[in-house]
Amino acid sequence: MCGIVGYIGGEQAAPFLLTGLQKLEYRGYDSAGVAVYNGTGIHVVKSKGRLSVLDGILQGGEKLPGVVGIGHTRWATHGAPSDVNSHPQVSDGGKFAVVHNGIIENYLELKNHLLRRGIEFVSDTDTEVVAQLLEYYYRGDVLEAISRVTARVEGSYALGIICADCPEKVFAVRKDSPLIVGLGQGENFIASDIPAILSKTRDICRLHDKEIAVLEKDGVQFFNSDMELVEKPVERVQWDVAAAEKGGYEHFMMKEICEQPEALRKTISPRIREGKIVLDDMKLTKEQIEKINKVFIVACGTSYHVGVVAKYAFEKLLKVPMEVDVASEFRYREPILDENTLVIIISQSGETADTLAALREAKKRGARVLSIVNVVGSTIANESDDVLYTWAGPEIAVASTKAYSTQLAVIYLIVLYMAQELGHSPQAEMEAYLEDLQRLPDLAAACLADKKTIQYFASKYFNARDMYFIGRNVDYAASLEASLKLKEISYIHSEAYTGGELKHGPISLLEDGTLVIAICTYGRLFDKMMSNVREVKARGAVVLGITTRDKEESLSQQTDYQFCIPKITDFMLPSLSIIPLQLFAYYVASMKGCDIDKPRNLAKSVTVE
């Protein structure tokens, strides 16, 4: 949700800012802008539309000389996408330029306060309030002005700031929105995320809430909220640069779909040793596991859908009461939690605002929090009692694929680890589960091998107006995710229902030729799903059925098209059934000419409520 970069050094800032923003465009892409100190003052160029528009205006940065600058790619929250609402926002007197990711919740009150003092505003953004307040409080010391502003604003922010009076410095501060500082040789950087600076440096410092960074060409100083100088540990980023590049694929989404077997291997293999699950990072003791009286899973979007699968696995193996909730609901409920409640928070980015707020709410209410996160060192990871990382590598496409798969893998690891600690399941059963978990990467690769069938099917239905996904038990959980994937990137209206719920209303939507995708991999309820398939076919639906290989023949008697996946432990089935449906969403969107990696109105990391 909005990407920020900043540069100070010996080279031209604008070309770097544009390349850095390109790596962050997944965070927002309705407008972009840069501000560069050009030797005499701050020069701002910004424009509505994709970054390529700005890049064209600046001719790759050539048109904006200067060695100090900040840049922004926007996902609008306050004020429609427009040139004037784009960032950087500049103060009335032109001294300060600011880029911002987050939301200033009390901006109206602050804006009215400044308006009453004759300060003129030009945009509808909350960010302009920060720029204006900085100049309002400025008495010759930028650091002091920043400190006064952060004491007044409420909400979330990552801010990059330059000041015309301090052309040899870039300032940065954050609260509840991510921001890193990159350390180079004779140049330093700020960014919302690592890919933006990876071509320049692997040494980074993470800012904590309300810490301020002051960057100069040859060094960086960090201050805490009391304006005391602090030392920050330097982290060496281990990523392969290629991991954040398309590597020959047309879209990040297809690359990430194809990376799933490898991501699964990296997430699972190191955690199974000598026939046992070993979770080195888990501090939760056997005694604490024994005392767990209830498990909540809280997350948003795709990560929430992982929770829906998890519910079936937890209930089956651990016989523990379980609730799954979307974070934006959970945070405003009155959930009943105590010190024996385990709250599992799932987040790819580790920065999702609602999920973070839910985590804090859970902790406030005394629960223990275990999080499943992909981004190392993210806020959710830092604030949890336990963290288990998914080793998916950077996920750049807005539509989540490999994060979903690896989050599921971590759920299986947690469930099996707890079952192992509690000694609930017979040894032979546990061995069979572990064997299946280890086979998962190869089985995922097998599902990916048959792209052609799905491509052909997509070519027949990419013009559909609506689609329905049905399933029962874990197949219902996979239906939710498959439906989300399709709608978010192809803009086709789609819904997911449990097979049994159809006749309570949605079946009235079916017409001759409506496409229904029936996920029928869960053996115990296969016959029930076949009844549902017959019901929808009787209303004229065309049905694509997905099942396991052993059921292919029975399925083909009832459905128009079939896709088969290998057989595996029941609760792991969504890890395989989702793969053809991720591919289906991709091919449909591609045939419709949609912008697959950057679907309209969406952004990768939702750091605002």
Cα gap 574→582, rounded to integer Å: 12
Q: Which of 300, 474, 518, 533 binds ligand F6R (CB under 6 A)?
A: 300
**Shortest spacing between CB 345 and ligand F6R, in angstroms:** 9
Q: Which is nearer to ligand F6R, 47 or 347 (CB)?
A: 347
Q: Is 597 in the site for ligand F6R (CB under 6 A)?
A: no
* Contact code string over 452-491 relative to ligand F6R, x by CB under 6 A: --------------------------------x---x---
Say how far apart CA 499 and CA 530 lie, in whole Å: 9
Instruction: State the sign of the Cα–Cα–Cα–Cα dihedral 311, 406, 102, 223.
Output: positive
What secondary structure does DSSP assign to 294-363, as a single string? EEEEEE-HHHHHHHHHHHHHHHHHH---EEEEEHHHHTTS-----TTEEEEEEESSS--HHHHHHHHHHH
Q: Is the Cα torsion angle 567, 571, 577, 579 positive or negative in sign? A: negative
Q: Is 302 a binder of ligand F6R (CB under 6 A)?
A: yes
Tokens 């970069």 locate to: 5
Residue 579 near residue 260, CB atoms below 8 Å: yes
Contact mark string toward ligand F6R, 553..592, x via CB under 6 A: ----------------------------------------
How many residues sit close enough to ligand F6R to count as binding (CB under 6 A)? 15
Give the count of beta carbons closer than 10 Å to the beta carbon of residue 39: 11
* Residue 407: strand, helix, or coil: helix
Q: Which one of the spans 156-164, 193-201, 274-282, 297-305 is the region binding ligand F6R (CB under 6 A)?
A: 297-305
Nearest to 300 by CA among 331, 274, 279: 331
Q: Is 205 a catalytic residue?
A: no
Rounded CA separation 285/324 (Å)? 23
Interface with ligand F6R in residues 326-355 (CB under 6 A) = 347-349, 352, 355
Contact between 312 and 412 under an 8 Å Cβ cutoff? The reply is no
301 in contact with ligand F6R (CB under 6 A): yes
Query: Closer to ligand F6R at the Cβ: 68 or 306?
Result: 306
Residue 179 or 484 with smaller CB distance to ligand F6R: 484
- DSSP string spanning 129-179? HHHHHHHHH-SS-HHHHHHHHHHH--EEEEEEEEETT-TT-EEEEEEBS--
Regarding 101 and contact with ligand F6R (CB under 6 A), the answer is no
Specify the pairing of strand 235-236 against strand 272-273: unpaired
Strand ranges (E), 442-587: 466-471, 493-498, 515-519, 542-548, 561-565
Q: Which two tokens stand for residue 40?
A: 């005499």
The one catalytic residue in 46, 95, 485, 604 is: 604
Please identify which of the residues 2, 166, 564, 594 carries the catalytic annotation: 2
- The verdict on whether 520 is a catalytic residue reads no
Among the candidate windows 73-81, 185-193, 257-265, 300-308, which touches ligand F6R by CB under 6 A? 300-308
Residues 246-275 interacting with ligand F6R (rule: CB under 6 A): none
Residue nearest ligand F6R by beta-carbon distance:
301
Positive/negative CA dihedral, 417, 423, 429, 432: positive
- Contact between 570 and 474 (Cβ < 8 Å): yes
- Mask for 192-231, x = binds ligand F6R (CB under 6 A): ----------------------------------------
Report how far residue 504's alpha carbon sits from residue 45's, in angstroms, rounded to the nearest whole number: 55
Give me the 389-408 binding string for ligand F6R, x by CB under 6 A, dash otherwise: ----------xx--------
Nearer CB in complex with ligand F6R: 318/478:
478
| Site for ligand F6R, residues 485 to 514, rule: CB under 6 A | 488
Here's the x/- map for ligand F6R, 357-396, by CB under 6 A: it reads as ----------------------------------------
Q: Give whichever of 344 and 520 is closer to ligand F6R, judged by the CB atom.
A: 344
Task: Choose, by CB under 6 A, the member of 303, 405, 406, 548 that binds ligand F6R.
Answer: 303
- Where along the sequence are the contacts to ligand F6R (CB under 6 A)? 300-303, 347-349, 352, 355, 399-400, 484, 488, 605-606
Active-site amino acid positions = 2, 604
